[in-house]
Amino acid sequence: MNGEWGERRLCELCLKDFSLKERTAFGVGGRAKYACFPENAGEFADCVSAAKRENLPVAVLGCASNVIVSDKGFDGAAVFTAKMNDLSVSGTSVYAACGVSGARLTEFCRLHDLSGAEFLYGIPASVGGMTAMNAGAFGREISSVLSEVYVLDGGVKRLLPAECGFSYRSSALGSSLPVVGATFSLKRGFDEAAIEKIRRFRRERQPEGRTFGSTFKNGEGYFAGALIERAGLKNYAVGGAAVSGVHANFIVNKGGATAADVRALIAYIKKRVNALFGVTLCEEVRYLGEF
């Protein structure tokens, strides 16, 4: 861990001047003024409220697999949930704290012979991030398997999925309504064959290396990747950031990319697709810091 212990008045769990670059899946970005690594809901609440008291913006981050951090960094508190990784089972319900990774969730379901969350396999993300983004794959969304979501709202509050504002790759949850954990409603019979199918699909259809998954959301009647491919932009690059030759909705870090490269590439893709097809692509990836 880099940085120095932060000022106690913010929070005893904070590090100062923390490099975010290596913490993100894509590997770009500057430093955060503070970084916190709470280990439980109480510490999580302390970090968030201390930062708010000092009028610092808060960014709650799971695996940072879907964020582009500005090259100028983030002048606020980045609260990483990776150390909040409780998992428990009761009958066919699984409670996962926000920092539990998708991979660990799959392992846990396999161990307890529970089915329903297999479609999340291969998303390199945390339960909190997937819930806030309403992550999905193969026609399913995480919100469809959740029975309750615990959030920080004053204290820890329990919400039903209907109260979370879930829609396609979006929800009312986020850094201003952080997810502490969620309960998955599953059934008996872990589906090993489904995992194998997904593993093969991802190996064949997704690029390797540093990426942040889908750059753009799909829209009514179109797949973003198909439009980008039809625009002839596969392998098109700005600096170290390039449209993947394997899947056009993925941007890859060829090495040495900056956030400015990614931003410029995204702007160019949007311009070309709009000019050719009259479609305004909307980013799925989230920006952090000043651009």
What residues make contact with ligand FAD under the rule CB under 6 A? 25, 59-67, 81, 98, 123-126, 128-130, 132-133, 135-137, 173-175, 178-179, 206, 211-213, 286
C-beta of 135 vs 231, nearer to ligand FAD: 135
> Is 169 an active-site residue?
yes
Cα-Cα-Cα-Cα dihedral sign, residues 88, 93, 97, 101: positive
**Closest distance of CB 74 from ligand FAD, Å:** 11
Q: Assess whether 229 carries a catalytic annotation.
A: no
Provide, rounded to whole angstroms, the least separation between the CB of residue 276 and ligand FAD. Answer: 26
Separation CA 121–CA 136 (nearest Å)? 10
Catalytic residue among 169, 170, 230, 272: 169
Whether the Cβ atoms of residue 102 and residue 113 lie closer than 8 Å to each other: no
Q: Which is nearer to ligand FAD, 172 or 272 (CB)?
A: 172
Closest CA to 109 of 187, 169, 178: 187
Which residue is catalytic, options 171, 263, 284, 286?
284
Per annotation, catalytic residue among 214, 244, 263, 286: 214
Closest separation in Å from C-beta 12 to ligand FAD: 21
Is 284 an annotated catalytic residue? yes
* Smallest separation, CB 188 to ligand FAD (Å): 25
The distance of closest approach from Cβ of residue 261 to ligand FAD in the complex, given in angstroms and rounded to an integer, is: 17
Our CB check for ligand FAD shows the closer of 144 and 274 to be 144
Nearer to ligand FAD, 105 or 135 (CB): 135
Residue closer to ligand FAD (CB basis): 130 or 269: 130
> Residue 155 Cβ, how far from ligand FAD at the closest point, in Å?
16
CB-CB contact of 212 with 129 (8 Å) = no
- Looking at the Cβ atoms of 35 and 135, the one nearer to ligand FAD is 135
Report strand pairing: 31-36 vs 286-288: unpaired
Active site residue ranges: 169, 214, 284
